[in-house]
Chains A and B, each alone.
Chain A
Amino acid sequence: MKFSYNWIREFVPTLHEAPGPLERLITMKTAECEGVEPVGELLSGACVARVESVEPIANSHNARAVVDAGLHGFKTVVCGAPNCRPGMLTAWAPIGKKVINGVESDGMLASPAELGINKDHSGIIELKAGAPGDPLPRCAPDAVIEIDNKSITHRPDLWGHFGVAREVAAILGLKLRDAVDLSLIPSAPPAIGIQIEDFSLCPRYSALVFENVSIGPSPYWLQARLTAIGLNPINNIVDMTNFVMAELAQPMHAFDADLLNGGTIFIRPARFGEAFRALNDQNYTLDASNLVIADAAGPIALGGVIGGAHSAIGAKTTRVVLESANFQASSIRKTSAAIKLRTDASIRFEKAQDPANTVRGLARAVELLREISPGIRIVGGLADQKKEMPAPPPIALRHDWLERKLGRSISPGEVRRILESLEFRFDEPQARVYSVSVPSWRSTKDVSIPDDLVEEVGRMVGYDSITPVAPLVPAAVPPANPTRKFQHEVRAVFVDQGFTEVYNYSFLSEESVRAFGFDPAAHLRVSNPIASDQALMRASLLPGIWKNVTENAKHREAFRLFEIGLEIHKTASGLPDEISHLVAALYERHGDGAAGLYELKRAAECLMPGAEARPAAARPFEHPARSGELVWRGQAAGRIFEFHPSLVESGRAAILDLDLRQVESLSALRTKYAPIRRYPSSAFDLSVVCPLREHAGNLQTAIASLSGPLLESIQFVRQYSGPPLDEGQKSVSFRVTLGSPERTLSSEEAGDIRTRIIEGMRSLGYELRL
């Protein structure tokens, strides 16, 4: 929202702080400002000038004009404007001398756009009155202060210049001049009826009827004001409604009274399917959640959002119904969101405007219309329907509580001065217990509890006046977060093993989900995705990691990376299941990939000592002959596999996918201490001959179960294929260690067990090399 410095100064006539310092003061005390821009700089020194003569310049579109600039004397100016003609009154601006088309041009004749009055740059400005040398009436260089809209979301009053002027006056301790003279509203019976169906949606609707209206451009000073703050001048009536809105934060709407049907305005919910053509030439189909302003024939405005096309002010308008109403904030917000139309009016109404402001707006309109539409007459008196709105009860504010909240002491007089400067009413029924009444423009949503008053006092006294103080609180060890600690340990393990951490997005495309053979319908879907390829919540980290592998393989021959993140799984109701996973990838452009897979397996074992990989059916994105399930402490904890070659163009990527929630819960199991064995154990090696694709893990399990309770450990030693073994055969060797915590085994006992294993394996169909 942009604010004109000159406009603010109209209400704070003694304001002498320059725009720059004022902007900083507003930032520190009221709301965040985003900068100051000068506007209408050319108006500095510009004056009324009469064109005396115009002569063409050979071989140029420009002409040589001589103007009478009053006390500045006669000036010769090179001018290209088509409307430059002798006798006209225009504006001359002193910008120095310059030779153009061989003619020395002194200053310039300016278009309205160049002067910052409106967007018209088709010719030089045409003035209706004034003596050469006079300044342009009520037009002066200005500065525009931009206030961040987000920082005034809670302040309906700051959406108009008068509200900001009130803040400025309070900040600087200056006097505020009221913008409104309520005595301008005539007391007479209203000339139009108003019928409000639901006062909760429209707490107040006020209107005045005018006749003998003349439609035409607004005076330049008014246009300049609107232009400075980014509004486009249209015609005097529309400009006036925008002007009052920008001044008092009260949106208004003008209907052409002759285009209305019947003598009553209805404020009612739209009927289902009711059609409405708005001022922006869009057609809307409404329903009961939209509040409309209607006449006997149908909607004439979408309440608080936009007027209708049919009853709009046009060149032929002579009678006007001027609406100044108040609407419920949330209803406006809903309608504006539903039809995707945010207007200057709806933006203000959704901040909860002050119902007292409707009549103030009309009073200000009367004053302006008298000037900008000469001869205008008010028909009848004020039409005004409203629900009774009792003032909210005063807020009780204890002085000691205020000081404890701020963390500094402050004198009661200072509190009073601050609150009264912001037009709060201040009483002190008991010593140091205040009763504070909130002005109507602050009580709609903004200020209702003592904490809100802490802010008022705090910001005005200045937060920089508060000295930091260490709180006196007991020292306490905070509750632990074992999951976070565990995940940091996992990160450390993988970083130590050479893996670099990546972060991927939580969104996936349907395409990438399908590429992995997952079902898009099983994914949680974003209703309003930023792009169609980011519409699904990831239920696996694998597509993200796959992308990392593909991208980095363009620059690297080998790399290791990992991510810890949440898989988000749809549930039947309530919040989805968020499961933390680790996915690690080891990519090598050359080699057969075996070393990478085993290295990754070793990394997994660093996290899960003793974990086993068990052969498992491959999923579509896994290499069908290189995938396994990781089992730790009897529970499935994840998968280890190589990406299917169709997914990785060149090279191989070994992948580890661990369910960290599972791994963490298994890590928490305490291993029980066993005493160090006092008796020597005995060991022997066994080599099992088996088909090449027999899993060593299966053999080991078989040997272990044949060994019986005296088995201490069983370890893979080596495997071998080649002569003298048959083609298609391999020999896998294990070292079996036997022992007892109570005694030394006899050689017979050990020999018996060995025989039992050998015979058992033979009966399972394996040959043994002894």
Chain B
Amino acid sequence: MLDQSIQELESRSLARIASATTLEELEAVRVDSLGRKGPLAQAGKEMGKLPPEDRARIGKLLNSARQNLEQALEAKKRGLDSGSLNARLEAEWLDVTLPAPGPRRGHLHPITRIQRELEDLFASLGFAVLDGPEVETEYYNFDALNIPADHPARDMQDTFWLDGGNLLRTHTSPVQVRGMERLGPPLRMIAPGRVFRNESVDASHEHTFYQLEGMMIDRDVSVAHLLYFMKTLLAAIFHRDVTVRLRPGYFPFVEPGFELDIQCLICGGSGCPVCKQSGWVELLPCGLVNPNVLRMSGIDPGEWNGFAFGLGLTRLVMMRYAIDDIRYLQGGDLRFLEQF
């Protein structure tokens, strides 16, 4: 008799579980069948009243019914859970093609970009990055660089003079002098920065532009070493091997002085409008540091010597990005600046 009612309960409950559509219905089935006051629990309590020969059989039957129901409930619950999750997920549709709110990332100025690239490059070669003032004394800008007053070389750089007798540095070379005074030999340094020349502005001339000065002071520095550094540097700047040549150039702070040309990267040396059909592009002045300059900065030229070079940072930026009008660089136009 009991056997039958247990089996009936089990099959009835399994049917209810199967037809349940919500977690609440399922919970009701659980309470009705497996609850502490449910029929199975009741049957369990009444076990003691059964004749001993029936106990084991009924006990097995009860356990199996409980297990079957628990498994069915668990399985049904998982099904119902994922169903409601799916419904929620479905409701939470987002248009991922919409633009994200908030500002877009800004842009570094192209001169900053190239300058940082060069700073990192030189730092990796053991060069310090030094700074100097934009307003300089005549001494640092000229005299200490072997350009005394009334030297015709002063005409090579049209100078902005300031009331009171100072000037706007016409090159980053004064930082060499400050570097030699401050750090002494041996020295490897660069000085990127803003320089000024009293020139009228057009598409290819600016009164304000950027240079990168470099210097190495050590023992027995030669033209061969200068060439090595320049080739290494230019290969890194242009991301390819470059052919360079030195020819005489006159700058009072170096002796001998050179103009360094690179073989035209556009035509590879066969001649094109960029290199004015010569196959070569003038890139940077350089040379071995004039012993007078070392002496004036308190370095004994009998013991130390070195090389120096000046890279036109603005010009390099224009070459790198094929910018055809220098005025854009200080024009503040976002339509230009946002391209970098």
Q: Which A residues are closer than 8 A to B by beta carbons?
A: 27-32, 150-155, 329-330, 333-334, 350-351, 404-408, 449, 451-452, 454-455, 458-459, 463-464, 466-471, 473-479, 481, 483-484, 488, 491, 494-507, 524-530, 537, 544, 547-548, 551-552, 555-556, 559-562, 566, 568, 575-576, 578
Contacts and interface: CB of A to CB of B under 8 A. Distances in A.
A271 B112 CA distance: 56
Interface of B: 102-109, 111-112, 116, 119, 123, 126-131, 133-137, 149-150, 152-153, 155-156, 160-164, 166, 168, 183, 186, 188-189, 194, 196, 198-201, 207-208, 216, 218, 220-225, 227-229, 231, 245-250, 252, 255-259, 288, 290-291, 305, 329-330, 332-335, 337-338
A466 B223 contact: yes
A506 B333 contact: no
Nearest to A337: B150
A478 B134 contact: no
Contacts of A560: 103, 106
Contacts of B156: 150, 153
A459 B288 CA distance: 13
B162 A30 contact: no
A481 B131 contact: yes
Contact of B255 (A451, A503, A525): A451
Contacts of B112: 491, 501
A529 B199 CA distance: 10
A479 B183 contact: yes
Contacts of A495: 105-108
A30 B248 contact: yes
A275 to B, nearest CB: 26
Given A473-B218, A500-B334, A575-B133, A524 B162 contact: yes
B245 A548 contact: no
A659 B286 CA distance: 37
A548 B152 contact: no
A473 B188 CA distance: 10
Contacts of B246: 463-464, 466
Contact of B103 (A455, A498, A527): A498
A330 B337 contact: no
B333 A449 contact: no
B225 A471 contact: yes
B248 A459 contact: yes
Chain B contact surface mostly: mixed
20 contacts: A153-B156, A154-B250, A351-B152, A407-B227, A449-B291, A459-B248, A463-B223, A466-B223, A468-B231, A471-B228, A481-B130, A484-B129, A491-B108, A498-B103, A501-B337, A502-B109, A502-B332, A526-B168, A560-B106, A561-B106
A465 to B, nearest CB: 10
B252 to A, nearest CB: 8
Nearest to A155: B250
Nearest to B149: A330
B337 A500 contact: yes
A471 B127 CA distance: 14
B221 A471 contact: yes
B105 A455 contact: no
Contact of B256 (A29, A459, A527, A566): A459
A451 B119 contact: no
A479 B259 contact: no
B195 to A, nearest CB: 11
Contact of B258 (A27, A463, A481): A463
B332 A407 contact: no
A301 B207 CA distance: 37
A500 B338 contact: yes
Counting chain A CB atoms within 10 Å of each CB, the highest count among B137, B218, B255 belongs to B255
Given A405-B288, A481-B129, A552-B333, A576 B135 contact: yes
A191 B255 CA distance: 46
Contact of B116 (A470, A488, A525, A551): A488
The 8 closest A-B pairs by CB, nearest first: A407-B224, A498-B103, A407-B222, A455-B256, A330-B150, A463-B246, A468-B228, A478-B128
Contacts of A463: 223, 245-247, 258
Given A30-B248, A501-B108, A560-B106, A575 B208 contact: no
